[in-house]
Amino acid sequence: MSIILAIESSCDETSVAICNNGKITANVIANQTIHQNYGGVIPELASRVHQQNIVPVIQQALSDAKVNKKDLNAVAFTRGPGLLGSLLVGVSFAKSFALGLDLPLIAVNHMHAHILAHFIDDPKPSFPFLCLTVSGGHTQIVLVKSYFEMEIIGETLDDAAGEAFDKTAKILKLPYPGGPLVDKHAQLGNPLAYKFAVPQIKDFNYSFSGFKTSILYFIRAQEKENANFIKENLNDICASVQYSIVNILLTKLKKAASEMGISEIAIAGGVSANSGLRTSLQSMATQEGWNIYIPAFEYCTDNAAMIAMAGHFKYMNQDFVGQDVAPLSRMEF
Ligand code: KG4
Ligand code: ZN
């Protein structure tokens, strides 16, 4: 029996969740709108807003789950990877909260947690499975052997897929965060209107840096001919860029699945909310005979429910850390 309170503060969402015996009973997320004015997350502002949000978000989560803090069995928190100043707020709060209530502390790797979000609801993948983890900072193909044995078999050599979406949005003068807006416009456009070069990278690895630059050059060249190019073709540009990113992501995933002989396939992370990725994965699954696992929208982007789920499995192993634990902006997988 365990009731775990979990805190996520790795980037610009302050989130607190409660996991009661493996079931999520609260998942409160406070988004930070302040960054919209700057076109990207400003780390210093993010940590300040986490400080303002953390207490009300904790109170809301306890109230939603109808739990008294005295009933908690452990406090889980995101240790990393992420923005150091943001992580510091969650880690410091978790430590003092646990100290005050005499509770054990559970340190969670944010990228593991994105994958373990698949164990919140049914159907759950069976081990071993492959997970394409695509977020604002990471693009990885992970071989998941058990709750905590995970091996990165391919990853981006430079930028993440989420960055390619966000940078495209910036080039197209769409506000931050751009990924969801590119997705929205893409649903109204022709994915074959424009063709972009596919990076040729070895093994199961990715690269999005040259791809991002090719979009910038393409738009600049088109704008020289027609100053209203973006305005007149926004939906088609978004649809074509999204089509290319999804194609790049799924081609490598298919190669990995085929070479490793695995047909349990999952996606995770913020970009797994993308409608093009979700639909194309479904078609590929039918062709390839895969069982696929796509997270509910609320568990794609950053949330504490996934930290609570990871916390639950670690609690069962009595895998605790001491009060000397510190956040890590980069973290061993
Ligand atoms: O996992 P996440 O919330 O935060 C990180 O751990 O990085 O992922 C955020 C990323 C951003 O790049 C955001 O633009 C992207 O996920 N994203 C999307 C969509 N929703 C979020 N990208 C494409 N289409 C979406 N619908
Ligand atoms: Zn994330």
Question: Any idea what the CATH number is for the domain that residue 185 is in?
Answer: 3.30.420.40
Nearest Cα to 117, choosing from 171, 69, 78, 84?
Answer: 78
Residue with tokens 């990725």: 277
State if residue 40 touches ligand 1 by the CB under 6 angstroms criterion.
Answer: no
State if residue 273 touches ligand 1 by the CB under 6 angstroms criterion.
Answer: yes
260 and 208 housed in the same domain: yes
Number of domains the chain is built from: 2
The per-residue pLDDT for 176 is 85
- Residue 30 resides in a domain: yes
3-state secondary structure of 39: coil
61 and 159 housed in the same domain: no
Residues 179 and 186 sit within 8 Å (Cβ to Cβ): no
The per-residue pLDDT for 71 is 97
54 and 170 housed in the same domain: no
Atom of ligand 1 nearest to the CA of 302: 3
Token pair of 174, please?
């769409």
If one residue of 134, 271, 278 were mutated to test the ligand 1 pocket, choosing by the most ligand atoms within 8 A of its CB, it would be 271
Give pTM, 2 decimals.
Answer: 0.96
Element containing residue 31 per DSSP (H, E): strand 23-31
State if residue 269 touches ligand 1 by the CB under 6 angstroms criterion.
Answer: yes
155 and 37 housed in the same domain: no
The residue contributing the CA closest to ligand 1 atom 16 is 270
259 and 159 housed in the same domain: yes
| Degrees, nearest 5: CA angle 311-314-317 | 155
State if residue 80 touches ligand 1 by the CB under 6 angstroms criterion.
Answer: no
Atom of ligand 1 nearest to the CA of 160: 12
67 and 160 housed in the same domain: no
State if residue 159 touches ligand 1 by the CB under 6 angstroms criterion.
Answer: no
- pLDDT surpassing 90 at residue 157: yes
Atom of ligand 1 nearest to the CA of 138: 7
241 and 170 housed in the same domain: yes
- Residue 324 resides in a domain: no
106 and 193 housed in the same domain: no
If one residue of 86, 131, 165, 329 were mutated to test the ligand 1 pocket, choosing by the most ligand atoms within 8 A of its CB, it would be 165
82 and 54 housed in the same domain: yes
3-state secondary structure of 231: helix
State if residue 165 touches ligand 1 by the CB under 6 angstroms criterion.
Answer: yes
Q: What is the dihedral of CA 159, 145, 252, 137, to 10 degrees?
A: -10
Nearest Cα to 244, choosing from 285, 274, 202?
Answer: 274
The per-residue pLDDT for 273 is 98
Instruction: Give the distance (Å) from ligand 1 centre to CA of residue 274.
Output: 8
The per-residue pLDDT for 333 is 84
- Residue 156 resides in a domain: yes
Instruction: Give the distance (Å) from ligand 2 centre to CA of residue 176.
Output: 16
The per-residue pLDDT for 145 is 98
Q: 10 is in which domain, residue-wise?
A: 3-115+300-316
In whole angstroms, how far apart are CA 186 and each of 169, 182, 223, 239?
A: 11, 6, 20, 4
- Residue 103 resides in a domain: yes
pLDDT in tens, 218-257: 999 999 999 999 999 999 999 999 999 999 999 999 999 9
Residues 17 and 4 sit within 8 Å (Cβ to Cβ): no
- Residue 222 resides in a domain: yes
Instruction: Give the distance (Å) from ligand 2 centre to CA of residue 320.
Output: 22
- pLDDT surpassing 90 at residue 98: yes
State if residue 245 touches ligand 1 by the CB under 6 angstroms criterion.
Answer: no
State if residue 161 touches ligand 1 by the CB under 6 angstroms criterion.
Answer: no
133 and 263 housed in the same domain: yes
- Under the banding of pLDDT at 50, 70 and 90, the label for residue 40 is confident
Residues 79 and 92 sit within 8 Å (Cβ to Cβ): no
- Residue 178 resides in a domain: yes
Q: How many DSSP H helices and E strands does the chain contain?
A: 9, 10
159 and 110 housed in the same domain: no
State if residue 270 touches ligand 1 by the CB under 6 angstroms criterion.
Answer: yes
- Residue 332 resides in a domain: no
Question: What is the chain's mean pLDDT, rounded?
Answer: 97
Q: What is the dihedral of CA 245, 140, 13, 81, to 10 degrees?
A: -140
- Residue 77 resides in a domain: yes
88 and 135 housed in the same domain: no
